Structure 1
Amino acid sequence: MPARQAVTGRSQEPRRRFTEELRSLRTERGESLRKLGDALGWDASLFGKMEKGETLGGPEVVEALDQHYGTPGLLLTLWELALGDPTQFREQYRRYMTLEAEAVSLWHFAVSVLPGLLQTEGYAREVLTVGGATGADLTQQIEARIGRREVLDGDNPPQFRTILSETVLRTPLRDAVAWREQLEHLAAVAERPNVVLQVLPNGSGLHGLVSTDVMFLRLTDGRTVAYTENAYRGELVEEYGHVEPLQRAYDSMRDLALPPAESRKFIGQILEEVPCDPLT
């Protein structure tokens, strides 16, 4: 068995520890990525991405690597730890926030919850509370989320398109007053010249992003990156080969959405269903 790499302060982070071990085992054998790919039957680019931390791969490929290197169970254990590494989510999210502030245009799809750029304080409070935030941490997260709206409020705001699943608009807050305020804010934002808002009716059927919230950012250098997210983790996708299929799925799904004018009417209809006086 190859000598184990010493655990340093840096490599105690599970995801980084996993990628370091992969790279160390391959280089100690003197194998190229191409030779490794030929030996195991996977494309060499997959192993390159795993060593860079761009993807963790699946259990089948990790088990095959364990067998190839004679490290039974080692890589699979590191892989399992890396899957649950919360630092990776935070690092990717911080980088995403930096890119969002620099983007020249943004386009987005929401499965069940409004994007942070469109949330009112009441909406953000309920969403974050459901996610487990409390006390001072809740207050800080609300302030940070509301602060993100400045991206669309500046003197020269970027173009922003959002497509909201009908589910987003059919899932009210528990606080009827806060829900009305959120819908009114949404209707006002939809009138801005730099914002295009569309609603995807539930009757549109299945599509390629049926379970994926995604935000695309067009950067100043012409690149497009994507950030996909669910309730528990998010992933910053920067490689063109992974962003492009997401864009194709988005374009196909956009063709199913209501036009902007009809979407604004749809929001108005939802708003009419919310009582002005919640006690009634």
Structure 2
Amino acid sequence: MSLEAGKEQLNGEADEPGWEVDPDDEWGLAVLATVGRQLKLRREAVGMRVADFAVAVGYGEDLVYKIEGGKRIPRPEYLDKSEEVLRADGLISAMKEDVEKVRYPKKVRDLAESEAKAVEFGVYVGLSLHGLLQTPEHARALFEVSQSAYSEGEMERLIAARMARKSIFERSPAPMLSFVQEEVTLRRRVGGTMVWRQQLEHLLEVAGLRNVTLQVMPTDSGAHPGLSGKIEVLKFADGTAVGRSDGAFNGRPTSELKQLRILELRYSTIRAQALTPRESLAFIEHLLGET
């Protein structure tokens, strides 16, 4: 069932129009408890029973109870309708920003916060396109083959979280972003030919941004430091940095200067072995011309 169809199920017979709460996300749980409490107090202040409110906003009573009890993440349209029905004078709308953050899994939210603070970001990825470079359709195709049996709602939540991270491209001042992708990831037709072509076109658009450098590592380039896995280094305005590599330091993020230098050296070596940015764009254009 689609998400839009789910919104029409007033009694929660199928997927309800909300998201499940991550039980390990203490901050998120606290936000939802506060939001639910405020919604309940506002509803009671105007003298509306749950049954009447549910009818007014067009959702099921069970969902209203779950949201007011902090057990369910309300969708933006639920909050918009609640603001209108309860005449909340902006009180409910003011909660939307925090609720938007809670929508995304804690691990993804933490990653997005780090990326949002970075002034420089360099990453090498071997087997798949980096999340910041993916189209929604490409991301969906990857989730669908992950053998994780995601529900439609869970999948939409994960895709939305991944796409939300792409706001890094719209920041001002713009951070310097550098990506190195293996040739094989660009040749693999994830999601079919149409999705693959749209993905390549999107890469060309992103690579055209003045603060973005995209390079392709040819399959015939021989051995390089990235063969042991993903490498990424983020630098921040205060001079600090954090890096991680699947093949170093147990794969854990590190801010230790000596370890960061090793990761930076590895990434610099990878960039030197890859095609130049101009050659990389020409390569992607050539791939597009093959179909």
Tell me the TM-score normalised to structure 2 length. 0.59
Q: 1:102 aligns with which of 97, 100, 117?
A: 117
The secondary structure found in structure 1 opposite 2:180 is: strand
1:124 maps to amino acid = A
- Alpha-carbon distance between aligned partners in 2 of 1:273 and 1:234, rounded to the nearest angstrom: 37
Q: Distance in 1 between matches of 2:151 and 2:198?
A: 23
Q: How many pairs are equivalent?
A: 184
Which of 153, 163, 166 matches 2:180?
163
Gaps of 5+ in 1: 1-12, 14-89, 275-280
Q: What is the Cα deviation at residue 225 of structure 1?
A: 0.8
Q: Deviations over 1:19-52 (max 9, x none)?
A: xxxxxxxxxxxxxxxxxxxxxxxxxxxxxxxxxx
Cα–Cα, structure 1 residues 244 and 91, in superposed 2: closer, same or farther, change >3 Å?
A: farther
Matches within 5 A, 1:78-157: 94-131=109-146, 132=148, 133-157=150-174
* One-letter amino acid of the structure 1 residue matched with residue 228 of structure 2: S
Which residue of 2 is the match for residue 228 of structure 1?
Answer: 245
Which amino acid is the alignment partner of residue 224 of structure 2?
Answer: H
Cα distance between partner residues in 2 of 1:264 and 1:217: 24
Unaligned runs of 5+ in 2: 1-23, 25-104
Selected match of 1:218 from 235, 243, 247: 235
Change (3 A) 1:167 1:211: farther
Question: AA paired with 1:250?
Answer: Y
Q: Report the counterpart of residue 182 of structure 1 in structure 2.
A: 199
Given candidates 260, 273, 278, the residue that maps to 1:243 is 260
Distance 1:211 1:168 in 2: 16
Q: Which amino acid aligns with 1:105?
A: E
State the SS of the aligned residue for 2:231: strand
Give 3-state SS (helix, strand or coil) of 1:258's partner: coil
Within 5 Å, give how 1:44-59 maps onto structure 2.
none
Cα distance, 1:129 vs. partner? Answer: 2.0
Instruction: Give the alignment's Cα RMSD to 1 decimal.
Output: 2.2
The list of structure 1 runs, each at least 4 consecutive aligned residues, that deviate by more than 6 angstroms after superposition, is none
CA distance in 1, matches of 2:203, 2:141: 17
CA–CA separation in structure 2 for the residues paired with 1:136 and 1:196: 34
Report the alpha carbon displacement of residue 235 of structure 1 after superposing the two structures with TM. Answer: 3.1
SS in 2 for 1:104: strand
C-alpha deviation, 1:154, in angstroms: 2.9
Matching residue's letter, 1:98: E
Cα distance in 2 for partners of 1:117, 1:156 equals 18
Distance 2:136 2:207 in 1: 18
Equivalence for 1:39: none
Q: Which amino acid aligns with 1:253?
A: I
2:228 aligned counterpart, secondary structure: coil
Q: Deviations over 1:253-276 (max 9, x none)?
A: 2111111111100000111123xx
Tell me the secondary structure at the aligned position of residue 227 of structure 2.
Answer: coil
For 1:210, what is the secondary structure of its paired residue? Answer: helix
Q: CA deviation at 1:93?
A: 5.5
Assess if the C-alpha contact under 8 Å between 1:96 and 1:227 holds in 2. Answer: no
Identity, % of aligned positions: 32
Q: Distance in 2 between matches of 1:240 and 1:130?
A: 38
Q: Distance in 1 between matches of 2:166 and 2:106?
A: 21
Q: Which moved more, 1:263-272 or 1:170-179?
A: 170-179
Output the CA distance in 1 between the equivalents of 2:244 and 2:151. Answer: 26
Q: Which residue of 2 aligns with 1:278?
A: none
SS at 1:148 equivalent: helix
In the other structure, the counterpart of 1:204 is 221
Q: 2:285 — aligned with what?
A: 268
Task: Write the distance in 2 (CA, Å) between the matches of 1:245 and 1:93.
Answer: 26
Which one-letter code corresponds to 1:116 in the other structure? G
